[in-house]
Amino acid sequence: MKSEINNLINKIKNSQYFNVTLDLYQPIPFNGVVPFDIKIKGDIATFKVLAENYDQAEQKVFEYLKELRNES
């Protein structure tokens, strides 16, 4: 249990914000709580994501968008 807590604390310490920018080729049905800050200008969306690295941030955005599309 103690090592799990330490791992979580280290993840938080090592996290930072990353901007993930995507071209919105189709409308996104935003419903409910959005777990990121999002700026949309035209067809370009920029997601501000807290993660340990850029790849993890990008993966979080892709998973979120997949969930949204499956709900609609």
Chain CA centroid to CA 68, Å: 13
Asked if residues 61 and 22 have their Cβ atoms less than 8 Å apart, the reply is yes
Cα atoms found within 13 Å of the Cα of residue 52, Cβ hemisphere only: 9
Chain CA centroid to CA 64, Å: 7
For 17-61, the pLDDT digits (tens) are 999 999 988 777 777 788 999 998 988 999 999 999 999 999 999
Asked if residues 20 and 46 have their Cβ atoms less than 8 Å apart, the reply is yes
Q: Structure pTM?
A: 0.79
Q: What would you measure as the largest C-alpha separation in the chain, in angstroms?
A: 47
- Enter the tokens of residue 55: 């790849």
